[in-house]
Amino acid sequence: MDIATIIGLVAGVALVFITIMMGANPAIFVNIPSFILVVGGTLAATLINFPLGDVLSVFNTVKNTFVQKVASTENLIEQLVEFATVARREGILALEGHASEANDEFLQKSVQLAIDGTAPELIKDILTTEIAFMEDRHAMGQSILNAMGAFAPAFGMIGTLIGLIQMLATLDDPSKIGGGMAVALITTLYGAIMANLIFLPLAGKLRVRTTMELLQKEIIIEGILSIQSGDNPRVVEQKLKAFVSPAMRERINVGR
């Protein structure tokens, strides 16, 4: 998933950059005040619209979208079935050592709860609450990115209107009309690029990713509860495979 995001971002920026460089006068497209107006205006409107803490944490959430690799669901199921085999053979306490192997923090916490002998209903409650807050946090992130995707073109237009009015009001030499209008249009261009290459697609990615993480966390909860109740590894495997597509099921290779 990360790769697609990065390929898309790099390719999109490169395409726009090359298109601009092919023209006669690329320097005209760099206009710091225009950039500040669009970025600053978008941020200002976003700060009025959302609490400061949530706006700050959206940058973190977006960064995670790039850096954190989504664990493979196939591996996750294989690992849970392996845990089931260990728990079945050596007792649930034997998972103590394996829990730290898991590279998913949520999985570690879930295994620890099971080892501690927490009641199944409580495990489910604790983990479900955590998922609900993750979902809320991501939903807020999507709202913020979508709002930025609406504010960016709006401030682009505001910048263009300011530029046009300045240019038209001081129009005494018609030959200068072109240059003034070119400058005025740059904010609209900035707003359109930010919205369509950054804010809106990132909001979409966050939504897709939330769906995927939710599925994995639900698989973990189901798996841990099944292991704790002493289910046969084969039963655990069947229960977890029901969460994934037939095609993915065939890729899952349980080492038994």
Q: Restricting to residues 203-232, name those near a copy of itself by CB under 8 A.
A: 204-205, 208, 212
Which residue has tokens 């790769």? 3
Which of residues 67 and 169 has its CB atom nearest to a copy of itself in the complex?
A: 169
Residues in contact with 3: Cβ distance below 8 Å, sequence separation at least 6, in sequence order: none
**What part of residues 229-248 is at the interface with a copy of itself (CB under 8 A)?**
242, 245-246
- Cβ proximity of 80 and 190 under 8 Å: no
Among 104, 162, 210, 218, binds a copy of itself (CB under 8 A): 162
**What part of residues 97-136 is at the interface with a copy of itself (CB under 8 A)?**
129-130, 133, 136
Q: How far is the CB of 52 from a copy of itself (least distance, A)?
A: 4
**Structure tokens of 103?**
């590279």
Cα distances (angstroms) measured from residue 14 to each of 2, 20, 65, 172, 221:
18, 10, 21, 39, 43
For 8, phi and psi rounded to 5 degrees? -60, -45
Contact flag: residue 52 with a copy of itself (CB under 8 A): yes
- Cβ proximity of 155 and 38 under 8 Å: yes
Which of residues 81 and 241 has its CB atom nearest to a copy of itself in the complex?
A: 241
Contact flag: residue 32 with a copy of itself (CB under 8 A): no
Which of residues 65 and 85 has its CB atom nearest to a copy of itself in the complex?
A: 65
